[in-house]
Amino acid sequence: MLKLHNIHGGLRLEGHKAESLQRGLLQATLPERLFLPLRQHIGDHNKPQAEIGERVLKGQVIASDSALICAAVHAPTSGTISAIENYPVAHPSGKTDTCIVIDVDGDDKAVEPILADLENLTPGEKIELICRAGIVGLGGAVFPTSPKLSRGKVQGIDTLIINGVECEPYITCDDILMRFNAAEVIRATGYLQRILAPRTTYIAIEDNKPEAIAAMAQALTQHPLQNTEITPIPTIYPSGGEKQLVQILTGKEVPHGQLAFDIGLFCQNVGTCAAITRALEKDEPLISRVVTITGDNIAQPGNWEARLGTPISHLIELAGGYRHDASGHLVMGGSMMGFALSGNEVPIVKASNCIMVMREETIPTSPGYHDECIRCSKCTEVCPAQLLPQQLYWHARARAYERTQEFHLFDCIECGCCSTVCPSRIPLVQYYRAAKSEIRAAQKAQFKSDHARLRFEFREKRLQLKKQQDEERRRLKREALQKKNTRPGNEKPMADPVQAALDRVKARKKLAQED
């Protein structure tokens, strides 16, 4: 039995999970229209690969890009593209983004799958299939899986960690997936082992999910894997964070500014694993995901496997509608790290693990002010990243961004533990998010201006070089001409033609003056 390690801080929170676990894994019906944002991952923007009026089939690529950090978007069903324009999307700022709109035809006709001979595929070919399927981390990070695998393969992986922890309140999509699709997760673990060749594999599940642990253990018995252990871990928030999980399982601390695979560990969420199995075994791209619909303002909470692009209003309808009234709050994610949505027409995307439908009065509204920090250090005690949240707060508030980086702002996982315990009710995480986004914007602007300066300097150098080359060419020509005119038998040097022209102009001017 693996010896587990403690993490610093963390909180024991009310789970609010039982409500959405009553009805098993439900299949969502198709809505009339799907709204697919072009970018549903961390990384570069996709470009549309289909046109308005075009009929598309389920699984067809409709947006992609050749950039390294990118994940294609596929049509989740068959239909006709009726628009490519801005619509509300799931984003903390409530912004709109370019979406491809598909009018669903109801046939659900798919492109012909090309089934690969998995036994004879190289690790690189398997990664290529995962790339083609547009798979991203479904635990919340939405980082494209194929570049992560490629880097892990190059760097060498000692320990593979399958993350079934799902520690945030209200979210149960991974729990239900493990209960009902455990075999897919286990088979993906086998594929990942063949790609990364780790020495050890841990499948970590919080000990408040006994049904998921049992289902995964049974699936592992049916599909045995070498050096693979199902590891129940204590229920504490945020033990599902990558760095925290690494520490619990191995006792290793991922250094500041690094990621788990920099120290030979590779973490993969269980939902991502199921998507990998479908991509490799059925040539099925990522076109759906399990979404928890829950909260105190939804009639029948549950988990639905929904096609990407499905408007949240459609899932609310499937869940029996609003329990109280439709004026409540919608939050994507859980109660600690989730963010408010602008409305119920926002579509489900690859990152949508949970939609909380809450009554107005349940969500504490910000009074718009907070008390001053009393330096009680409670935030420091609970910070799982071992940061100094009050110092970060002072510097973020003063917009002293260099100082925030000295205090490792970018190691903050935005878990919200510090805000939760702060007696002065300071919305600490909001300060950190604002600081991070301003720093990123400044870095982006700096990158652009550096790029423009480099281009300018390069152009200047190029022009200078051309000038020098032209001058050199003229000099050589002059010399050659002079040599020709001083050949034996033709000793009288011919006048320099340019000088001769200048002399003629001078003479004409003189004549004109004399007249």
Nearer to ligand SF4, 252 or 397 (CB): 397
Taking residue 288's Cβ as centre, other Cβ atoms within 10 Å add up to 22
Instruction: Please say whether the dihedral angle defined by the alpha carbons of residues 93, 96, 99 and 104, taken in this order, is positive or negative.
Output: positive
Going by C-alpha positions, the residue among 42, 205, 54, 187 that lies closest to residue 126 is: 187
Nearer to ligand SF4, 167 or 298 (CB): 167
Nearer to ligand SF4, 251 or 423 (CB): 423
Helix %, strand %, coil % of the chain (to 5): 40, 20, 40
Which residues in this chain contact ligand SF4 in the complex, by CB under 6 A?
Answer: 373-379, 382-385, 387, 389-390, 393, 412-418, 421-424, 426, 428-429
In the complex, the smallest distance separating the C-beta of residue 409 from ligand SF4, rounded to whole angstroms, is 9
In the complex, the smallest distance separating the C-beta of residue 21 from ligand SF4, rounded to whole angstroms, is 27
In the complex, the smallest distance separating the C-beta of residue 332 from ligand SF4, rounded to whole angstroms, is 18
Tally of CA atoms within 13 A in the half-sphere of 478 that contains its CB: 11
Nearer to ligand SF4, 425 or 473 (CB): 425
Nearer to ligand SF4, 78 or 419 (CB): 419
The Cα–Cα gap between 314 and 77 comes to 16
Nearer to ligand SF4, 186 or 422 (CB): 422
In the complex, the smallest distance separating the C-beta of residue 145 from ligand SF4, rounded to whole angstroms, is 25
Nearer to ligand SF4, 229 or 438 (CB): 438
In the complex, the smallest distance separating the C-beta of residue 243 from ligand SF4, rounded to whole angstroms, is 10
The Cα–Cα gap between 69 and 42 comes to 8
In the complex, the smallest distance separating the C-beta of residue 427 from ligand SF4, rounded to whole angstroms, is 10
Yes or no: say if 126 and 195 are a contact pair by the CB < 8 Å rule.
Answer: yes
Nearer to ligand SF4, 331 or 349 (CB): 331
Going by C-alpha positions, the residue among 49, 189, 133 that lies closest to residue 308 is: 133
Helix (H) or strand (E) holding 470: helix 428-485
Taking residue 321's Cβ as centre, other Cβ atoms within 10 Å add up to 14
Helix (H) or strand (E) holding 403: helix 401-406
The Cα–Cα gap between 288 and 305 comes to 7
Going by the DSSP 8-state scheme, the letter that residue 495 receives in this structure is P
Going by C-alpha positions, the residue among 292, 290, 319 that lies closest to residue 306 is: 290
Yes or no: say if 183 and 143 are a contact pair by the CB < 8 Å rule.
Answer: no
355: CB partners within 8 A, 6+ apart: 291, 292, 293, 294, 295, 312, 315, 316, 330, 331, 332, 341
CB-neighbour burial class of residue 127 (10 A; exposed 0-12, middle 13-18, buried 19+) = buried
In the complex, the smallest distance separating the C-beta of residue 419 from ligand SF4, rounded to whole angstroms, is 7
Nearer to ligand SF4, 302 or 389 (CB): 389
Nearer to ligand SF4, 281 or 411 (CB): 411
- β-partners of residue 79 are 56, 104
CA distances from 306 to 27, 77, 111, 333 (A): 7, 11, 19, 16
In the complex, the smallest distance separating the C-beta of residue 435 from ligand SF4, rounded to whole angstroms, is 11
In the complex, the smallest distance separating the C-beta of residue 354 from ligand SF4, rounded to whole angstroms, is 19
Instruction: Please say whether the dihedral angle defined by the alpha carbons of residues 8, 14, 18 and 20, taken in this order, is positive or negative.
Output: negative
In the complex, the smallest distance separating the C-beta of residue 333 from ligand SF4, rounded to whole angstroms, is 14
